[in-house]
Amino acid sequence: MDMLDLLLFLFLAALGWFWFDSLRAIEVARHAGKAACNRAGVQFLDDTVASVALALGRDEMGRTALRRTYRFEFSDTGDNRLEGRVILLGARLESVEMEPFRYLP
């Protein structure tokens, strides 16, 4: 095995790790968005989230981690679409933000 083969193998291994880590992060974000909607009493639409940003950040221990931002849609009345965001830092949920909506008891 020469150096080029080793570099190719390492690149493919890193790509595989990133892909599997991204799948896990999507599930965490989807669950967090759905839970936030349930707590707020609104409808989580399409049962999905979409990635909108990827950046490097530092966790509370000062380690570098990936900060992922996901967008989801929800409805407060059933006939509109509002936007929410889930931000993950590494494997940890950092925040969930939702557009202001009308609360109907």
Q: pTM of the full predicted structure? A: 0.87
d(CA 74, CA 76): 7
Neighbours of 86 (CB within 10 A): 27
User: According to DSSP H, which parts of the chain are helical?
Assistant: 3-40
pLDDT digits (tens, 9 = 90+) for 2-34: 999 999 999 999 999 999 999 999 999 999 999
What is the Cα Rg of the chain in Å? 18
Assess contact for 71 and 98: CB atoms under 8 A. Answer: no
Query: Helix, strand or coil for residue 101?
Result: coil
30-52 pLDDT, tens digit per residue, is 999 999 999 999 999 999 999 99
pLDDT digit string, tens, across residues 71-93: 999 999 888 999 999 999 998 99
Query: Domain residues of the chain, as ranges?
Result: 3-98
